[in-house]
Amino acid sequence: MSWWVEDSTPVLVWGCIVEVILIFALVKSGRLWLLYAMAGLALLVGGIVWHEKHTITDTKQIRASLYQAAAEMERNNLPGVLQYISPTAPDLVRQAKSISSTFKLDEVHLTNLKIQVNRFNHPPSATVDFFVRVSGADRAGNFPFANILQRAQVTMQLENGRWLVSGYTPGGINGR
């Protein structure tokens, strides 16, 4: 895939810069072909942005899966969370069940996602390093907490067309 299907921002910025230059050139010279060049550039940049927004890539699917899993965690919906965990990760399923029975979560916020996809593995896999902020309370009232900010890393694999979490490491890469 081309680089612009992940993020078309550089194309948009450079397109705007060139458009401004063409506007100045049009005002200065009054040549009609510059107007056509501006329209052509606008169509090209618009087409690239449209293509980027409508192309589903692995990183977009992974990001969507993690955000949907976080939303299920916020709703304290254990069956919904388990839909995003690979059946090949029984320890992770047990951990999710334990956390669900122990804590009531109010908010789960993921930031700074760094996704590395490896399509050469069978099945294809990905490593995601990110920060997670969780707020909630212990159901028994023994461990009240307002906010916990932690770096984390998950490994994911592509199973039946869906990216599922197959591993979790609190602290992220190298425990940092």
Average model confidence (pLDDT) for the chain?
87
Calculate the alpha carbon distances from 105 to 49, 146, 155, 158, 170 in Å. Answer: 37, 10, 23, 28, 17
Q: How many CB atoms lie within 10 A of CB 167?
A: 17
More confident residue, 122 or 70: 70
8 Å CB contact between 9 and 59: no
pTM of the model: 0.74
In the chain, the percentage of residues whose pLDDT exceeds 70 is 91
8 Å CB contact between 110 and 131: yes
8 Å CB contact between 101 and 120: no
Residue 62 is inside which H or E element, if any?
helix 58-74
| Strand-by-strand arrangement of the 145-159 sheet | 103-118, 125-138, 145-159, 162-170
φ and ψ at residue 144, rounded to 5 degrees: -75, 140
Q: What is the pLDDT of residue 165?
A: 94
CA dihedral 81, 86, 89, 91 (to 10 degrees): 0
How does residue 3 score in pLDDT terms, banded at 50, 70 and 90? low
Q: What is the mean pLDDT of residues 72-79?
A: 92
Cis before 87? omega within 30: no
Cα separation, 71 vs 34, in Å, equals 49
More confident residue, 49 or 173: 49
Query: And the tokens for 165?
Result: 């979490």
